């Protein structure tokens, strides 16, 4: 059953609710929202704690009203779609704007709904104004004074229809505490080049230059290693310095009550949007690359490069599959002396969720989070770059240009030289080269804790929101019976919100009335004074809508009871201290240590 079908069953089969996904939002296209004057937006949160998320939907109208599940009005903003997106040849859409609103307090493993109605007057949606001010952001001094407010409590009440025992979870009351903080983020644009000149995040002002460049690919005869060409499995630029696409970019600045944006156009195949949301503590860079030109016969690998004044000492850090950070030292290998013959490719590493720099003298950290796996590096102190896409050209038999394409961690490839295939693979869409669109998220600040949450913890929680983003479904209001009842519903798959440092990896029905539950601690040791500590989870309280009879811990794959595992004993020469993770359990309470993953099989009544 599809996700939309499952959510429809939770809301109620007699509501005639049909949930549809907008699968082309990456080109700002959604037929359901563009063609409707009255529709319901249902947002599912796959994370095990409460989150808030900005929603962007392409629309054709000039003004809309948005109401939440209580029928209360929600501030919304119409933002022009970038011209580079409107110019995509195969984008068949009447939408010129995106409707933006903030979905607040989405319940853990649950959903809530918002109703969007075309307004008869212009008094609905807030308009976006074009500005000549080359700074965007949400500095408290520009709006209201910064005030640290005490923790508050909020509740999510769920209304039921009928007495279906399978929907008993809906009747629970959900309570969570949190800290309300105003954000302090701004971006300043150079008036001459149109490129970024500085940012301010979390009260830290940082000189920053950001631009999109590309490496030209090396072409050789592949007969000896030194003549290996760049290809599907080899990144080998023909120079250690990338090519500057342009010195100056065209800029358009847009401002509104929810989001402020800078639209940059480099040329006909490269553009970017820089945006700051009012309730977020990061800067978003949304790049669009393609179709990459190939008429010159030169392979191209575009990168997004961020240059700061941080003294990083040849060190940078990348994540290991979204979890522990790995220290990387430029031009260095830990177990042998490396003869540096590939200064660029030899320093590239996989980046699943983030890459960062630290200046220990200044006590400042600069991190870039990505929305998909990419290659990244720091080729100079204070500098970070991520590969956004690539295209390779290679001359083959009889002087013909062969074009080869292969999906990879670098997002998309159009032209590659692959030594073993012997035929051209040309990845196109609608008769043209592929266009890629993606986002980078910049977080910076003091490495010391501020306002009770460390920068490292903020990065971890932001990565969770990026990589496990809420799912958005759209329904036509006219086709829904008892629309008011449907809109007023909320659902939470958990009775409580788990702590921010805990992620519910798996909640899966198992055989014989059992549940497979897999929990992870998402922080490392010493990343945060509070959130990096051990944390206790009460399984009965978490699953209080069902009756838990017993549980036992298994291996991480859930196949064998942990107490029955007889591990092989290895003789090692490493004398480094190794601590065994705590596997403490007390009645139905389990303990998680930093970075620990534990799996349990829970017997239900």
Write out pLDDT tens, residues 96-146.
999 999 999 999 999 999 999 999 877 777 889 999 999 999 865 343 333
**Mean pLDDT of the 274-295 span:** 92
- How many other C-beta atoms are found inside a 10 Å radius of the C-beta of residue 95? 22
Q: Indicate the pTM of the whole model.
A: 0.87
| pLDDT tier for residue 246 given thresholds of 50, 70 and 90 | very high
SS3 252: strand
In order of 42, 77, 79, 129, the CA distances from 97 in angstroms are: 20, 10, 5, 13
Q: Are 288 and 270 in contact (CB under 8 A)?
A: yes
C-alpha span between 546 and 544 (Å, rounded): 5
In order of 4, 93, 457, 485, the CA distances from 11 in angstroms are: 11, 31, 35, 9
What is the per-residue pLDDT across 248-262, written as a single tens digit (0 to 9) for each? Answer: 999 999 999 999 999
- Please give the distance of CA 6 from its chain centroid, rounded to a whole number: 24
| pLDDT tier for residue 17 given thresholds of 50, 70 and 90 | confident
CATH 2.70.98.30 maps onto the chain at: 185-309+336-354+369-446
3-127+155-178+468-492 sits in which CATH class? mainly beta
C-alpha span between 254 and 132 (Å, rounded): 9
C-alpha span between 358 and 299 (Å, rounded): 33
SS3 304: strand
- 99: part of which helix (H) or strand (E)? strand 97-106
What is the per-residue pLDDT across 553-594, written as a single tens digit (0 to 9) for each? Answer: 999 888 888 888 888 888 877 666 666 666 667 788 999 999
- So what's the pLDDT on residue 407? 34
In order of 101, 517, 532, 553, 605, the CA distances from 506 in angstroms are: 30, 5, 22, 14, 20
Residue 149: pLDDT over 50: no
Over 531-572, what HEC string results? Answer: CCCCEEEEHHHHCCCCCEEEEEEECCCCCCEHHHCCCCCCCC
Q: Can you give the C-alpha Rg of the chain in angstroms?
A: 26
SS3 35: coil
Fold classified for 502-604: Immunoglobulin-like (2.60.40)
Q: Is 560 left (phi over 0), alpha (psi -120 to 50) or beta?
A: beta
Look at 276-290, 329-343, 469-483 and tell me which has the smallest mean pLDDT.
469-483
C-alpha span between 442 and 200 (Å, rounded): 11
CATH 2.60.40.1180 maps onto the chain at: 3-127+155-178+468-492
User: Strands across the sheet with 250-255, in order?
Assistant: 129-131, 250-255, 259-267, 270-277, 283-289, 436-446, 364-370, 354-359, 315-319, 325-329
SS3 318: strand
- How many other C-beta atoms are found inside a 10 Å radius of the C-beta of residue 127? 13
- So what's the pLDDT on residue 415? 46
What is the per-residue pLDDT across 365-413, written as a single tens digit (0 to 9) for each? Answer: 999 999 999 999 999 999 999 998 654 443 333 333 322 233 334 444 4
Buried b (16+ CB within 10 A) or exposed e, 532-570: beebebbbeebbeeeebeebeebeeeeeeeeeeeeeeee
CATH dotted code for 185-309+336-354+369-446:
2.70.98.30
Residue 329: pLDDT over 80: yes
- So what's the pLDDT on residue 393? 41
Phi, psi of 307 (to 5 degrees): -120, 125
Q: Are 86 and 95 in contact (CB under 8 A)?
A: no
């Amino acid at each position: 059953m599809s996700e939309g079908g499952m959510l429809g069953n939770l809301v109620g089969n007699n509501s005639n609710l049909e949930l549809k996904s907008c699968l082309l939002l990456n080109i700002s296209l959604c037929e359901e929202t563009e063609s409707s004057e009255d529709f319901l937006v249902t947002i599912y949160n796959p994370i095990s704690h409460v989150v808030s998320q900005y929603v962007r939907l392409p629309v054709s109208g000039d003004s809309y009203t948005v109401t939440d599940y209580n029928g209360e009005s929600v501030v919304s903003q119409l933002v022009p779609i970038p011209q580079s997106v409107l110019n995509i040849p195969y984008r068949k859409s009447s939408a010129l704007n995106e409707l933006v609103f903030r979905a607040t307090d989405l319940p853990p493993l649950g959903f809530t709904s918002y109703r969007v109605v075309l307004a008869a007057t212009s008094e609905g949606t807030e308009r976006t104004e074009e500005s000549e001010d080359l700074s965007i952001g949400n500095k408290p001094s520009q709006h209201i004074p910064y005030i640290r407010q005490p923790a508050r409590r909020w509740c999510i009440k769920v209304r039921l229809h009928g007495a279906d025992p399978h929907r008993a979870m809906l009747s629970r009351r959900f309570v969570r505490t949190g800290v309300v903080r105003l954000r302090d983020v701004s971006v300043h644009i150079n008036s001459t080049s149109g490129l970024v000149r500085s940012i301010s995040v979390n009260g830290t002002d940082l000189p920053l230059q950001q631009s999109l460049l590309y490496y030209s690919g090396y072409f050789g005869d592949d007969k000896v290693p030194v003549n290996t060409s760049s290809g599907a499995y080899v990144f080998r630029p023909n120079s250690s310095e990338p090519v500057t696409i342009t010195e100056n970019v065209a800029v358009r600045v847009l401002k509104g009550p929810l989001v402020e944006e800078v639209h940059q156009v480099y040329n006909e195949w490269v553009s970017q949007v820089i945006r700051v949301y009012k309730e977020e503590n990061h800067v978003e860079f949304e790049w669009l690359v393609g179709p990459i030109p190939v008429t010159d016969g030169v392979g191209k690998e575009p990168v997004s490069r961020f240059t700061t004044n941080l003294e990083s000492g040849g060190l940078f850090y990348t994540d290991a599959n979204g979890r522990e950070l790995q220290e990387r030292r430029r031009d260095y290998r830990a177990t042998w002396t490396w003869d540096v013959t590939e200064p660029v490719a030899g320093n590239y590493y996989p980046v699943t969720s983030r890459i960062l720099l630290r200046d220990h003298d200044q006590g400042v950290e600069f991190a870039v989070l990505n929305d998909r796996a990419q290659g990244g590096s720091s080729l100079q102190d204070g500098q970070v770059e991520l590969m956004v896409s690539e295209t390779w050209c290679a001359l083959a038999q009889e002087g013909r240009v062969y074009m080869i394409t292969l999906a990879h961690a670098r997002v998309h490839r159009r032209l590659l030289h692959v030594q073993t295939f012997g035929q051209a693979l040309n990845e196109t869409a609608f008769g043209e080269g592929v266009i890629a669109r993606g986002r980078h998220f910049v977080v910076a600040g003091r490495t010391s804790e501020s306002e009770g949450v460390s920068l490292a913890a903020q990065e971890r929680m932001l990565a969770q929101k990026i990589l496990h983003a809420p799912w958005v479904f759209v329904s036509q209001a006219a086709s829904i019976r008892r629309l008011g009842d449907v809109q007023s519903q909320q659902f939470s798959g958990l009775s409580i919100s788990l702590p921010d440092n805990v992620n519910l990896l798996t909640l899966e029905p198992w055989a014989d009335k059992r549940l497979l539950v897999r929990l992870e601690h998402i922080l490392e040791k010493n990343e945060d004074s509070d959130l990096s500590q051990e944390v206790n989870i009460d399984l009965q309280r978490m699953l209080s809508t069902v009756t838990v009879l017993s549980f036992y811990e298994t291996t991480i794959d859930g196949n064998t009871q942990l107490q029955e595992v007889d591990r092989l004993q290895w003789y090692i020469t490493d004398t480094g201290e190794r601590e065994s993770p705590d596997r403490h359990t007390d009645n139905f309470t389990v303990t998680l240590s930093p970075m620990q993953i534990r799996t349990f099989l829970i017997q239900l009544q």
